[in-house]
Amino acid sequence: DNYWAGTFWKEPYFRADYDYEDYAPAYCVGYSGFSQYGGRFEEAEKSLCANFVRIKGDSRLTWEDAIEPIRCAWARREAADARSRAG
């Protein structure tokens, strides 16, 4: 997602020892997770963790590091979905 590539370093969870390639799988899990699970983030958290572990590849993020970027991507997708439904 071009949005995250251009803004990830502005987020409060950003750590200078990680680059975009580290964060990208977390954003992917959050964005696709909302589409897959919907509802409340907390209810999908275990599944999101499993998804992140499965696709993280070379990302250096741990689950603890990844949860906030996942949550942010989920919220961004949720807001976009709400806007599209509103008209």
The predicted structure's pLDDT at residue 64: 97
pLDDT by residue for the chain (87 residues), tens digit each?
A: 799 999 999 999 999 999 999 999 999 999 999 999 999 999 999 999 999 999 999 999 999 999 999 999 999 999 999 998 886
Task: Give every CB contact of residue 68 below 8 A, 6+ residues apart in sequence.
Answer: 11, 12, 13
d(CA 46, CA 69): 15
The predicted structure's pLDDT at residue 35: 93
The predicted structure's pLDDT at residue 84: 87
pTM to 2 decimal places:
0.94
The domains of the chain are located at 19-86
